[in-house]
Amino acid sequence: MNPARRCSALLSQLCVSSRGGATTRRPFSPGPVSAAAGTRYCHSGVGVGGGGGVKGTSSQLKPTGASTASAAQVCPMGGSSSSRLFGTLAQSLNSAPLAQPDPYPEDNPDQDLAEIDPDQLLRECEEALQRRPARPHRDLVYPSGVVPCRHKHNPSIRIMQWNILAQALGEGKDGFIRCPLDALNWEERKYLILEEILTYSPDILCLQEVDHYFDTFQPIMASLGYHGTFLAKPWSPCLDVEQNNGPDGCALFYRRSRFSLQSTAHLRLSAMMLPTNQVAIVQTLNCQVTGQKLCVAVTHLKARSGWERLRSAQGADLLQSLRSITSANVSSRQNEAVSGTIPLVVCGDFNAEPSEDVYRRFSSSTLGLNSAYKLLSCDGQTEPAYTTWKIRPSGESCSTLDYIWYTHDALSVECLLDIPTEEQIGPDRLPSYHYPSDHLSLLCDISFREEPHRLM
């Protein structure tokens, strides 16, 4: 069976729940790639302060028999049919059923998988979601005001950052009082998540609150040509929810045709020398087009107000680890060893507004990091008004908590995905029938800056 038919057949097996009175879903596009109507421009500059980080500690998180056993005993949210599509997909793409989940899948090379046509899968997602309203359009914004020329020797790298909302938390603990329960149904919500990923087709995908990694994201992303790794929280709150799908954690995917893996670090973040419940994945990738290295990290810091000092300590610990990982001898084209650092991208839900100390630590780090989404502002110095907007029993919360940090001396941001307006989000806020998470996805295209010796 060819990949398109396989995709169609598997999707047709999934019973999609219906909602009366819904409008026909209209397909949407990620916006123009060239200067055309619907593209917004903003002239802005880039700036970052100096300073150093505070020393901390980090430890490599090892799997334990207890955690593996608990993951194997839990049941999928929504019953056995909720994972039918992706469970069947994984088993059809491999010669045998899924093995016991491996907390470190990058340690084992990906098996030869029959790749699925992403355009066909996207169309099938739209068919599955036809009873839901169309998602509002989001423009691609070019901070320089000019659509950059595409260089075949240095093409841009598309990076997506997204807290996708753990299914167990959305249905069981988070209390989104204005969000209808059927909008959170995993049998449809997973199509919304997948549709957004397919629409923007990132080269690197960084996710938080992933509690359907092994039965959903790993097999489907592998069939789309990505390599993935997952790291669960040691004590995930998802496990407190009846019929959970295992612990939530961070996931990092990269396109195998674009990158090869040089190294991976699994970090359990520490605060004041003590291990905490938050983790990070750090991978050093080799770009197969430019031959350059890129270090990518994904993390999810401690949530809730009152934990600002802990988040600051976690950030200091992560920065120390990143300094160690990115410090290396970087060879020039002439193979002359020069001292330098590997360009760095850090994605995550920091659970911290720009006024918090952990934000200041990153913006003033000796790693020379800048926040990509500041470039949406006309002065290049202001974060968006929100990346999450939700209504809980305690009240309405509109905050900027999610970031894509990058080494501004080595990397250039070419475009970003705009933030939806209040009108587009709607009065009931997030999540909703057309937004699957209480956080908005962030996306930017970056490229390596030309090194001085290459300009001569």
pLDDT tens for 125-150 read 999 999 999 888 999 999 987 787 76
Residue 422 has pLDDT above 80, yes or no: yes
Separation of alpha carbons 12 and 4, rounded Å:
12
- Coil/strand/helix, residue 212: coil
Who has greater pLDDT, 452 or 324? Answer: 324
C-alpha 226/C-alpha 258 separation (Å) is: 10
3-state secondary structure of 173: coil
**Which range has highest mean pLDDT (44-58, 61-75, 174-188, 435-449)?**
435-449
Instruction: Quickly state the pLDDT bin for 77 (edges 50, 70, 90).
Output: very low
- In tens, the pLDDT along 439-456 reads 999 999 999 997 644 433
Which position has the token pair 């200067």? 35
pLDDT in tens, 141-182: 999 877 877 677 789 999 999 999 999 999 887 889 999 999
Distance CA 310, CA 303 (A): 10
pLDDT at 349: 98
Scanning 31-166, the segments in alpha helix (DSSP H) are 65-73, 84-93, 118-128
- Is the pLDDT reported for residue 26 higher than 60? no
- Pick from 49-58, 235-244, 305-314: least confident: 49-58
* DSSP H or E segment with residue 260: strand 259-271
The fraction of the chain above a pLDDT of 70, given in percent, is 71
Q: How far apart are CA 300 and CA 280, in angstroms?
A: 7
Report the pLDDT averaged over residues 316-335.
75
Helix (H, G, I), strand (E, B) or coil at 9: helix
Domains of the chain: 3-10+54-454 (3.60.10.10)
Averaged over 282-304, what is the pLDDT? 97
pLDDT category at 284 given cuts 50, 70, 90 is very high
- pLDDT over 60 at 80, yes or no: no
Give the whole-angstrom CA distance, residue 296 versus residue 304: 26
What CA–CA distance (Å, rounded) separates 271 from 262?
28
State residue 213's pLDDT score: 98
Q: 140-154, 181-195, 254-268: which range is least confident on average? A: 140-154
pTM equals 0.79
% residues pLDDT > 90 (the chain)? 65
List all residues 6 or more positions away from 174 whose beta carbon is below 8 Å from its beta carbon: 165, 390, 392, 438
Q: Which amino acid would we find at residue 25? A: R
3-state SS class at 415: strand
Which residue has 């991976």 as its token pair? 264
